[in-house]
Chains A and B, each alone.
Chain A
Amino acid sequence: MPKLRIEAEVNGRKVDRETEPHKRLLDFLRDDLNLTGTKEGCGAGECGTCSVFVDGKLVKSCLMPAGKANGAKIETIEGLAKPGDLTPVQRAFHKTGASQCGYCIPGMVMAATSALRENPQADIEEIKERLGGNICRCTGYTKIFEAVEIAKGVIAGTVPETALEEDMVDDSFIGANVRRLDAPSKVSGRLKYAADMKLPDMLQMQVLRSPHAHARILSIDTSEAEAMDGVACVITAQDVPGTDGFGVFVHDQPIMARDKVRHVGEAVAAVAAEDLVTARRALSKIKVEYEELPGLFDPGEAMAPGAPVIHDYAQDNLIKHIPVRKGDVAAGFAEADLILEDDFSTQQVEHAYLEPEAGVAYVDPDDVVVVISPSQNISHHRHMLAEIIAKPINKVRFIMSPVGGGFGGKEDMIYQGMLALAAMKTHRPVQLNFTREESLIASAKRHPSRVHYRMGLKWDGRITAIEFDMLSDGGAFGMSSEGVMRKAAILSCGPYEVHNLKVDTRVVYTNNTPSGAFRTFGGMQAQFATESMMDMAAEALDMDPFEIRRVNMMKVGAKTHTQQTLETASLDRVLDAAEQASRWEKGAPRVRGATRKDLNGPDTRQPCTLGARIKKASKDSDESERVA
């Protein structure tokens, strides 16, 4: 392959290198110059984690061919301040707690720096717009806005530099706003996530994924791929030495598809090669013969007689049913003055952590299989992998690398097994970094749910009975489904003491992308239905929404839906706190927005229209660069 020569200035130093012509600026910085502070989040210019300055302009380095950087002056997160030092923007991020997982933060710091360079007087509305091309999934952006405002003041000299320092601590560190100890490593791009790690002699892995939702695998021919120059190994389910199968509750998921595929994107085979390009080329040489099977895409159809069976052990496609019963539901409804009945549904949601799945595995000199990855559950993964690779548990070691956002989505061992197998087969370190597209189709989602709800109430607002029936789509594998159904059932009817209830939560297999753990673990799906019903009941009974909740709320001594007696309960306090803080105007929830007096207070933001806020840009910027 012909090489491309790049002469450029990077962080004030002259760089003269040969590189491959297909590389993006992002690859050149990360792979050739080892400047891994610049992260890859999407590879499509949509998330901003790879933002750098090229000739003083903020660009997304995943969209720029490396060749375009020839002759340019490039500045990355590593070049903003001298080693060991931080700029006012970085110090302000540290001060306010603007970094959480930290993966978006180098890009966010670059965007914030750009905003203040473009317009040192930018007001908060303009700052928000200038940060609009950078996604953060952890912080809710609020602390980032605060940081940029402080930095703006310090740079302009209107705010003393002491504003960047840590708050004083009185007589206890508990309850103190101690600054995050990991923030300096995150705001400077120094922290190494799994994809940033490089080990000598390391191979790159790529995964062949199923193009079918449900199909039998008739044959896999890896011979041509294995014969390729630069390919170290190809692995399939046949390479698993122990008992294949992982999952949080039921071990129904093989490391790679075994005999059949159950969802689009399921791993079928994997290649470890000297470099990424070779590994990708090798994938195209693997021949898989499939026989397509009828697919199941609607959870409502999963339990119907004659529905396709996705896992042999579950002929009815039921992963789990959790029942909760308390009191006498029939009597409760008979006693009701008003019965409301309705249906609610929630969608499938992606965790969208900015760090795509990534990992490194190797076999250490003592024959310990080591897997480094942003796994949220290294203890359980160690147990499962030991079974899968038939090793004693102390010969399996999991190290949790810095997690660039998890939210439950990194609890499933969806790729660590492949890494371990390839490392064992080659006795070389192996790295696998997912693309964003791969992450989207292969990782678990929040369970989509449907709830049928019946609620009986007295005229005074007391709930007399609830029937709650939830059906969730578990997708192709069990993952955390059982636990999610359990939590949904336990929390289902909300923080209210209900004496008569009948709750059922069910989750079924389909050929959709699997569902798994996601922040609230079924709690939000269930309580979305309950809290909607509470407002509908309040409207029907002409009650203030806070009032109807107070009438029913759990207090100390209340029996929960699972008949646990509460020894503490604080709903009264949080209701009061929210009501007071929001200056809530009392009244029944009956479309009174037009007449409310509590709107548009100083504790709200102003509505926005896109593009209307850039008040002043430096004279040499133009539209296209602003978009970049």
Chain B
Amino acid sequence: MMTNRMKRGRGMAASWYGIARTATIDRAGAWAELDDGGTGKVVTGVTEIGEGILTVLAQVAAEEMGIRPEDVTIGDNDTSRAPEAAHAGATRQTYMIGNSVALAAREARNALFEEIADHWDVPVESLRAFNGELWAEDTNLRMTMEDAVATCKGRGVVPVGSASFTAHGTGLDPVDGSGSPWQAYVFGTQVAEVEVDTWTGEVQVLGIWAAHDVGRAINPRGVEGQIEGGVVQGLGQALMEEYTTEKGHAITHGFAKYILPTSLDIPQINCSIVEDPDPKSPLRAKGIGEPALVPTAPAIMNAIYDAIGVRIKSLPATPEKILEALRNHVPGREQIAQSARLERAEAARHQSAKA
């Protein structure tokens, strides 16, 4: 299958990452209302930059309020009209704003539940709501959320809620750096399979296996989208992207010079979503935006080494760099080095066996 020209190999890399703002307390606020028609309204300071957080927030609010995601209207992104939710970054949206919206929506629902429980004369704990319906467990009492909101308002109460969610990171000691920068951590591992063209130096990534802990996947397809996007940005940095200046003047001043991954560069990306729930937040979800790209470049470099015995320590691994490294490559050097390593490892095993 493989010619001498084309060499394949595999490599892997692990990674870790912190969720939300680093080495500081983080906070986000949200308001919620169960609105006419059994719809929901959520207002918060910052949301979508493309990752899909609007949909995640609608899912979270719908789940808490007993309505459907498409019934949720989100008012957002306005410093004069919405409560502060800080910034869109730091892999904090699902964690910070998601939890804030969950708590605000829960408070709005509880306000409604209090009224309906009184109206039906049942304990409030027996009430459940999902998908636009509200019912009391172990009874035949059931109504739509539209009717529930109307009933609640008829009793003089607008079901609203508000919440602030806090993540308790602490600053680092200025001398030894000690501190607890985050309250939630995620871990990831990726495997890369590459083919290296030893004539041209071109590397193609054919497969990526990406396993990432996200705490809890609110929207698994959205999580995959973040992993796929992160992997491809990591691939770009690994192999082709390089903003270059000469005495401060950009040489790569457009996309003809600054090379980005396109549809033909994309490996098959196989995602494994691992869920290790966050014990410190109501949603138990963590995040995935940034962590997804951390292990990609080292996994690819380790795979290139596996394929051709050349270790690229300076990114990106451009065809020029690969060819130069291959030219400086002394045949047999790895084998010599390897036998030395094997001896050492053997000695170590003897040593530890004796101990």
| Cross-chain contact A603 with B207 (CB below 8 angstroms) | yes
| Chain A neighbourhood of B267, CB < 8 A | 604-605
CA of A441 to CA of B224, assembled, Å:
32
Q: Are A605 and B345 in contact (CB under 8 A)?
A: no
Let me know if B255 and A604 touch, CB within 8 A.
no
| A524 and B297 within 8 A (CB) | yes
CB contacts under 8 Å to B, within A166-199, are 169, 171-182
A574 touches B14 (CB 8 A): yes
Contact with B along A67-102 (1 / 0, CB 8 A): 000000000000000000000000000001100111
Q: Of B250, B274, B352, which one neighbours A460 at CB under 8 angstroms?
A: B352
Asked if B268 contacts A567 (CB within 8 A), the reply is no
Taking the complex as formed, is A628 at the interface, i.e. its CB lies under 8 A from any CB of chain B? no
Query: How many residue-residue contacts, CB under 8 A, span A and B?
Result: 520
**Is A181's CB under 8 angstroms from B69's CB?**
yes
**Chain B residue at minimal CB-CB distance from A263:** B248
- B294 near A524 (CB under 8 angstroms)? yes
Distance A446 CA – B6 CA, assembled complex (angstroms)? 32
Q: Which of A14-22, A200-208, A378-386 participates in binding chain B?
A: A378-386
Could you tell me which residues of chain B, from 15 to 46, have a CB within 8 Å of some CB in chain A? 15-18, 22-23, 45-46
B327 to chain A, nearest CB (A): 17
Which residue of the partner chain, among A348, A406, A483, contacts B88 with CB atoms under 8 Å?
A: A406
The answer to whether A343 touches B313, judged by C-beta atoms less than 8 angstroms apart, is: yes
In chain A, positions 106-129 with a C-beta closer than 8 Å to chain B are 128-129
Within 8 A of A (CB), among B163-185: 172, 174-181, 184-185
Cβ of A398 within 8 Å of any chain B Cβ, yes or no, is: yes
Query: Which of B111-119, B145-153, B336-344 makes up part of the contact surface?
Result: B336-344
Q: Are the C-beta atoms of B176 and A545 separated by less than 8 Å?
A: no
Asked if B260 is at the interface of the complex by the 8 Å CB criterion, the answer is yes
* Residues on B with beta carbons closer than 8 Å to the beta carbon of A268: none
Contact B272 A577 (CB under 8 A): yes
Question: Is A281 an interface residue, CB under 8 A from the partner?
Answer: no
Query: Are A337 and B50 interface neighbours, CB within 8 A?
Result: no
Which single member of B15, B80, B131 contacts A494 (CB below 8 Å)?
Answer: B15
Interface residues of A in 213-243 (CB under 8 A from B): 213-214
Find out whether the CB atom of A567 lies under 8 angstroms from the CB atom of B191: no
Once the chains bind, are B52 and A139 in contact (CB under 8 Å)?
Answer: no
B191 touches A324 (CB 8 A): no
**B321 shortest CB reach to chain A, Å:** 11
Q: How far is the CB of B50 from chain A (nearest CB, A)?
A: 3
Contacts of A546 in B (CB 8 A): 12
Interface residues of A in 498-527 (CB under 8 A from B): 503, 511-513, 517, 519-521, 523-524, 527
Contacts of B17 in A (CB 8 A): 491, 520, 523
B276, CB-defined interface residue at 8 Å = yes
CB pair A379–B14 under 8 Å, yes or no, is: no
A606 at the interface (CB under 8 A from B): yes
Residue interface mask A589-628, B partner, CB < 8 A = 1: 1111110101111011111101000000000000000000
Q: Compute how far the CA of A561 lies from the CA of B173 in the bound complex, rounded to whole angstroms.
A: 12
Residue of B nearest to A376 (CB): B88
Interface set, chain B 302-355, CB cutoff 8 A to A: 302, 305-309, 311, 313-316, 334, 338, 341-342, 344-345, 347-349, 351-352
How many positions in chain B have a CB within 8 Å of any CB in the partner chain?
Answer: 158
A440 to B77, CA, bound (A): 26
Whether A100 pairs with B219 at a CB distance below 8 angstroms is no
Nearest chain A residue, comparing its CB with the CB of B2: A594
* Residues of A with C-beta under 8 A to B209: 578, 581-582, 603
A39 to chain B, nearest CB (A): 14
**A46 contacts partner chain B, Cβ-Cβ < 8 Å:** yes
Question: Closest approach, in angstroms, between the C-beta of A394 and any C-beta of chain B?
Answer: 7
- Kindly state whether residue B287 has any CB partner on chain A within 8 Å: no
Please measure, in the bound complex, the distance between the C-alpha atom of A212 and the C-alpha atom of B245, giving whole angstroms.
13
State whether A181 and B54 are in contact (beta carbons under 8 Å apart), knowing that A140-B230, A368-B80 are contacts in the complex: yes
Enumerate B57-90 residues with CB–CB distance to A below 8 Å: 58-60, 62-63, 68-70, 76-80, 84-90
Residue of A nearest to B78 (CB): A399
Q: How far is the CA of A520 from the CA of B186 in the complex (A)?
A: 13
Q: Is A255 an interface residue when CB atoms closer than 8 A count as contact? A: no
Min C-beta distance of B211 to chain A, whole Å: 4
C-alpha gap A320/B163 in the complex (Å): 35
Contact flag A581-B211 (CB < 8 Å), given A180-B52, A532-B302: yes
User: Are A325 and B177 closer than 8 Å at their CB atoms?
Assistant: yes
Q: Does A358 contact B (CB under 8 A)?
A: no
Q: Is A487 located at the chain interface by the 8 A CB criterion?
A: yes
Taking a contact as CB atoms under 8 Å apart, the answer to whether B254 and A46 are in contact is yes
Indicate whether B201 reaches chain A with its CB closer than 8 angstroms: no
Q: How far is the CA of A47 from the CA of B258 in the complex (A)?
A: 11
User: Closest residue of chain B to A543, judged by CB?
Assistant: B345
- For residue A495, CB closer than 8 A to chain B, the reply is yes
Residue of chain A at shortest CB distance from B229 = A140
> Interface with A: B134-142, B154-162, B234-242, which one?
B234-242
Interface status of A270 (Cβ within 8 A of chain B): no
A553 proximity list for chain B (CB < 8 A)? 14
Contact residues in B for A503 (Cβ distance below 8 Å): 177
By a CB distance below 8 angstroms, the chain A residues around B237 are: 346-347, 349, 446, 524
Q: Is A325 a contact partner of B175 (Cβ separation < 8 A)? A: yes
Question: Are A459 and B341 CB-contacts (below 8 A) given A132-B262, A440-B250, A578-B211?
Answer: no
6 new A-B contacts at CB < 8 Å, known A297-B248, A378-B87, A440-B250: A182-B54, A402-B48, A405-B50, A459-B348, A531-B14, A579-B191
> Can you give 7 A-B contacts (C-beta < 8 A)?
A44-B256, A137-B229, A140-B228, A297-B248, A459-B352, A524-B234, A591-B305
10 A-B pairs closest in CB distance: A459-B348, A101-B50, A213-B248, A593-B9, A324-B177, A140-B228, A531-B298, A604-B207, A400-B77, A577-B211
